[in-house]
A and B are shown apart, each in its own frame.
With several copies, the nearest count.
Chain A
């Protein structure tokens, strides 16, 4: 009951925030001089990339917790998180490509940042394939936890290897300063907040589906006179 209320609340808030973000992006933020209108993609591109990382981090934590506690809820949250992460990574790849076409005059290039994004995508799609090929619930949860941990350990290594290559992909957010116009920064912040809330909503709803399924299965068992 209470959960349902929080969910509905989240949906409303994140929709509102998302609409605000879209408004700010198109009517408040200045149009970039060099790139023109395509630069607007940036406000989706970057938040999506961050949400993807956040998803994988959450999956990692859930993986560790599952192995320690053996509580299936961590598996459910972790896998939901990976699914969302894969969706966002896919969107990063797509938005990036759409952006790259006019700017770099190519859909794809073997730039390290792009390459690493693609590697992340591969790792977590492999996770989903693994998930699909194991049926027993405990076994699947354990393997997915291990995969989520190993995959996440890999993330910094993947990025490290990227830094060591020459790159045409811009590194904006350097260690301390951010070289970006204030209005753009505000827009980015709003957009970021909107995506964060959207991510949270998705995670809750997606894991709710699995929790419900689990409950249904248990109820069915009781009905069959098992439990």
Chain B
């Protein structure tokens, strides 16, 4: 735990110094939101589920930017060798990197979601608490699968390209749950009717964070 914190602190320090991960995520998210709304939404009534699809695609694709970053950071000058020869267990690295990714996503969502409401807020009910729950559960699942895969792709020659390729097929169920849940939240349906989706998301998050925690050992040693 202590070691995770050390790595977490270092990553945040680097982010504060370069500022670019979070900013790019935010900007790219808004860009996607905009391009998709424009290509799809012009002259069309955007219903809650469509809006929810647009929102999450924007957030997820922009989040990949941050994901890839956390590992490519360790590959320049082969800093990862420094971690590998040290007594830091890979699982601590996993916890640190997952937290960083979780945190970066949270910040960028804090900006992207309000912009989304400004664009599409008219036909949408805003349920803050359930939306927050959805966000947190999505981030958990996405950050843990994403960290695991960014560990894998970092060992290949084309890290930034391969990552979304591997990641998205695996998290399609998570995306589907999230879009469904959010669609119903936006439609103003009572909690009971969509709580099943949230439970599925939680299950996905838990399963994959455990899997990531256990598998990361093997992945990291191949770097």
Binding site for B on A (CB under 8 A): 67, 97, 106-108, 110, 115, 118-119, 122-123, 125-126, 129-130, 132-134, 138-139, 142-143, 145-147, 149-151, 153-154, 157-158, 160-161, 164-165
Partner of A138 from B145, B165, B177, B222 at Cβ < 8 Å: B222
Secondary structure at the B interface, as helix, strand, loop or mixed, is helix
Verify A164–B20 contact, CB threshold 8 A.
no
Verify A133–B169 contact, CB threshold 8 A.
no
Cβ distance B169 to chain A, nearest Cβ, rounded Å: 4
7 example contacts (A-B, Cβ-Cβ < 8 A) are as follows A122-B169, A122-B172, A126-B165, A129-B23, A143-B152, A147-B152, A154-B170
Cβ distance B116 to chain A, nearest Cβ, rounded Å: 11
Nearest A residue (CB) for B19: A132
B88 at the interface (CB under 8 A from A): no
Given that A133-B20, A150-B215, A154-B173 are known contacts, is A122 also in contact with B31, CB under 8 Å in the complex? yes
Cβ distance A109 to chain B, nearest Cβ, rounded Å: 9
Cβ distance B163 to chain A, nearest Cβ, rounded Å: 11
Nearest B residue (CB) for A97: B118
B-chain residues with CB within 8 Å of residue A133 when the two chains form the complex: 20, 156-158, 162
A-chain residues with CB within 8 Å of residue B43 when the two chains form the complex: 110
Known: A122-B168, A139-B155. 7 other contacts (CB 8 A): A126-B165, A126-B166, A133-B162, A142-B221, A146-B152, A154-B173, A158-B173
B-chain residues with CB within 8 Å of residue A106 when the two chains form the complex: 122
B-chain residues with CB within 8 Å of residue A151 when the two chains form the complex: 170
A133 to B155, CA, bound (A): 10
A-chain residues with CB within 8 Å of residue B127 when the two chains form the complex: none
